[in-house]
Amino acid sequence: MKTAQEFRAGQVMNLDGQAWVVLKSEFNKSGRNAAVCKMKLKNLITGASQEPVFKADDKLEPIILERKEVTYSYFADPLYVFMDEEYNQIDVEKENLGETANFIVDGMQETCEAVFYEGKAISIELPTTIVRTVAYTEPAARGDTSGKVMKVAKLDNGYELQVAAFIEIGEAIEIDTRTGEFKGRAKG
C-alpha cells in the first residue's frame, strides 16, 4: 500500500477493484499538520474519470504494471510517440499523459518510463527532476537573489510556471515533475 500523497501522475491504483491511472495529483495542508490530496483519475477500462479527494495519509493500493525505458520521438496529435531500446514505437494518447505532457518537448534527452496495462502503453513517467529552458519571462528583478520572490515564466511548449525573480530568458531551470514546480537554476 502507498499513501495518497505518494501517488504521482502516471501511476495506477486499484479502487473498488478497478484500475485507475493518476492524471493529476495535488495536495494542500489542511490543519494541524495534516494534508489532503485531490487527484484526477481515469479508469483504464471504461475511460471514465473522477476527481476524488483523499487524506494525504490514506492508504491506497498501487497496481504494479510493466514498465519499459523509452525516449521521446515526436508528437502526432493525439499521440505522443516514444521509442524503446529496440526501436519499437510506443504510442501514448495525449489525454492519458495528463500533467506529464507539460514537460514533454522536442529534443528532450531524459529517459522516461512507459507504463503498460494489458499490453497497452497507458502513461509515461518522467524523472523526478528535469531541466527545461525558459522561453520567456519578464526581465530579472534587480537586487533580489533570495529566490523567494517569484514571477511567471513560459517554456518552449507554452507551459507556464512560477520561477525565482532572478531567472532570465534562455536560462535552464530544474523542475520537479511531481509538483510541476520550479526547483532552481540548472547546475552546470
Residue number, 60 or 114, with CB nearest to other proteins? 60
User: Is the sign of the CA dihedral 114, 59, 25, 47 positive or negative?
Assistant: positive
Taking the least distance from each CB to other proteins, the nearer of 29 and 67 is 29
Instruction: Using CB under 8 A, list all residues that contact other proteins.
Output: 15-16, 28-34, 36, 38, 50-55, 57-58
Is 52 or 184 the residue whose CB approaches other proteins more closely?
52
For the bound state, the minimum distance from the C-beta of residue 34 to other proteins, rounded and expressed in Å, comes to 6
Residue type, 164: A
In angstroms, give the least distance from the CB of 81 to other proteins.
Answer: 33
Closer by beta carbon to other proteins, 30 or else 88: 30
- What backbone torsions phi and psi does residue 33 show, to the nearest 5 degrees? 65, 15
- Angstrom distance (rounded) from CA 65 to CA 146: 42
Per-residue cell: 165 = 525573480
Closest Cα to residue 168, out of 147, 131, 133, 139?
139
Supply the minimum distance, in Å, between the C-beta of residue 58 and other proteins: 6
Residue 149 makes CB contacts below 8 A (sequence gap 6+) with 141, 164, 165
Is the N-terminal amide bond of 52 cis, ω within 30° of 0? no
Nearer to other proteins, 80 or 182 (CB): 182
Shortest reach from residue 14's CB to other proteins, in Å: 11
Taking the complex as a whole, the smallest distance from the CB of residue 54 to other proteins amounts, in Å, to 5
